[in-house]
Chains A and B, each alone.
Chain A
Amino acid sequence: MNTTLICIVCPVSCPCDVEWTEEGGVTKVENNQCKLAFEYVEGELFDPRRMLTTSVPVDGGNWPLVSVKSHVPIPKDQMLEAMKVIADVRATAPIKVGDVIMPDFIGSGADLVATRNVTVA
């Protein structure tokens, strides 16, 4: 089968022409500027996932919020469900980029990790 998929890994948004089959997976990718597109189109066709990025409140920090992300992409259809889990999460300063705020937060294997340094106010 032939499909055009817009690679969403970076803002360049390469419109990738993809050749694939249900059994053999992706056989050809064209129109992409870099190799990050291969992994993306494979995932988008067979197991679509997205990075979840949001923020959670911080107690005692120099910022009221710490920005966070799923350390690996989570299933696309679980994004809104994941936000409900995160709604009850709080963090305490100090926090460093990469600190795990909540391990395996939706049972998909992805940890919720900090993307900002927060020092004690």
Chain B
Amino acid sequence: MSAIEKADVAVIGGGPAGLAAAAEAKAAGAGRVLLLERDDRVGGILNQQVHDGFGTKVFKEALTGPEYAAIYEDRVNDRDVETWLKTHVIDVTKDRLITVHSDKGLRTIEAGSVVLSMGCRERTRGAIGTAGTRPAGVFTAGAVQNYMNVRNLAVGRKVVILGSGDIGLIMARRMKLEGAEVVCVAEILPQPSGIAGNMVRCLEDFDIPLYLSTTVVEIHGKSRVTGVTLAEVGPKMGEIKGTRRYVECDTLLLSVGLIPENELTNKIGVVTSPVTTGAIVDDSFRTSVPGIFSCGNVLQVHDVVDYATLESEKAGTAAAIWATTGKLPDANIKVNAGEGLRYVLPATISGTDAVDFTMRSWKEDHDRAIIFKSGGEEIRRLKMPHMEPAGMIRVRVGKGRFKHIVNNELTVEVGY
């Protein structure tokens, strides 16, 4: 093994989160910043997301995925971030020793700060335990997006999509545009999982039917998928007898959720949330282990890349400050997810600066408010005309409000 490489900040994962964190770490004064990416190019999932709608929050215009990625790739290069491609991180210790494997062999990096920005992978057929044979033609939606939009490979002609997550909806439109017949999208939940805009432009625009409370109970075919059996499910997800129907198709696309890739996070021993499965962080995106930061989809699944970027820029800045000064404000105020909310991040705050809180609700609702309370008193509220679990809620609370906090305790809840 070669000599140990030293870096002020090492960023693991070169998707949108890692690109933003690395660029800002450099801007905040870090010396050597290493961006470690296992693919042969940076940009992550954006490279295959050729549709538009990215950048409306940051750039006030709708860009395509590759255009959005190119802006941050240029930024990272302009700021002299050192990017290591085809580099797989296989271990990170509490002391921030990183072991990487690449075509240059095994190498060790000693980093002042480490930013975990590994993103997500897709849930597969195995993860949802669908019965039937094991023919070719069953894909995750993101894999097909990569085949079609990056590698120029067609995957099938008659498609059923299981799961109404955004990638599934976008692939329904994509396959239709490329000449495939999209038979239907089936969703096990009583409401769509993807954002409302994609229901309009991906399904309604092309008359693709969506069946709610419906799932695939069996996959048919020997060497290739020949069809699937759909069935309706009741409120407890049990199959409703007598609702089975056979649908002919040669391809089944799965868009059944994302799994944050927290294997390294767990290996380090970082404390994680059972809800998000990602790290529990403070308002500097510090995890429970000193010098280890986390941001982007590995921390919490975002539906808007702009917010992953903004969050990661903060994490990168904080990582640089910690690496160069060893000082970040203590985060002693505990933040609780109250009534109506699945989780809230950050989990602790310092109260020294404005905070962008991110959260998800348990259910769809109208004419509610997000209320911040401390010691029973309201310190901030934001009206929510509409909220749904598929849409992340983001609320900025100004620094001035935090002076009303008592007992270092802040609760965020859904109210009227």
Contact = CB atoms under 8 A, between A and B. Distances in A.
B274 interface: no
Contacts of A36: 56, 60
Nearest to A54: B177
Given A9-B56, A15-B386, A64-B151, A115 B197 contact: no
Given A6-B199, A54-B177, A64-B152, A79 B205 contact: yes
Given A53-B64, A83-B179, A11 B152 contact: no
A121 interface: no
B178 A10 contact: no
B405 interface: no
B338 interface: no
A50 B53 contact: no
Interface magnitude class on chain B? 35 or more
A100 B83 CA distance: 30
B248 interface: no
Contacts of A51: 52, 62
B178 A83 contact: yes
A41 to B, nearest CB: 12
Interface string B258-293: 000000000000000000000000000000000000
B51 A53 contact: yes
B50 A55 contact: yes
A31 B385 CA distance: 7
A67 B64 contact: yes
B64 A13 contact: no
A11 B197 contact: yes
Given A8-B197, A10-B53, A53-B51, A116 B205 contact: no
A117 B70 contact: yes
A55 B62 contact: no
A28 interface: no
A93 interface: no
Contacts of B50: 53-55, 67-69, 115
B70 A116 contact: yes
Contacts of B166: 11
Nearest to B57: A10
Given A13-B391, A65-B149, A53 B386 contact: no
Given A31-B385, A55-B149, A64-B152, A11 B177 contact: no
Nearest to A7: B197
Interface in A28-77: 31, 34, 36, 50-55, 57, 63-65, 67-69, 76
- Chain B at the A interface: SS class: mixed
B136 interface: no
A71 B199 CA distance: 23
Interface in B31-74: 47, 50-53, 56-57, 60, 62-67, 70
Interface in B173-208: 176-179, 195-201, 205
Nearest to B61: A36
A10 B304 contact: yes
Contacts of B237: none
Contacts of B179: 83
Contacts of A63: 150
A53 B47 CA distance: 13
Contacts of A9: 53, 56, 62, 197
Contacts of B177: 52, 54, 79-80, 83
Given A31-B385, A79-B177, A115-B66, A69 B196 contact: no
Given A51-B52, A64-B151, A11 B66 contact: no
Given A53-B64, A67-B66, A115-B67, A11 B53 contact: yes
A6 B202 CA distance: 13
A24 B179 CA distance: 39
B210 to A, nearest CB: 14
Contacts of A117: 70
Interface string B154-184: 0000000000001000000000111100000
A8 B303 contact: no
Nearest to B179: A83
A6 B200 contact: yes
Name the residue among A6, A15, A80, A115 with the largest chain B CB count within 10 angstroms: A115
B303 A11 contact: yes
B306 to A, nearest CB: 8
Name the residue among B57, B64, B195, B199 with the largest chain A CB count within 10 angstroms: B64
A12 interface: yes
Interface of A: 6-13, 15, 31, 34, 36, 50-55, 57, 63-65, 67-69, 76, 79-80, 83, 97, 115-117
17 contacts: A8-B197, A8-B198, A9-B53, A10-B53, A13-B195, A13-B391, A15-B196, A31-B385, A53-B51, A64-B151, A64-B152, A65-B151, A67-B65, A69-B64, A115-B50, A115-B66, A116-B47
Given A13-B198, A15-B385, A79-B177, 6 more contacts: A10-B56, A34-B60, A54-B178, A55-B50, A63-B150, A115-B66
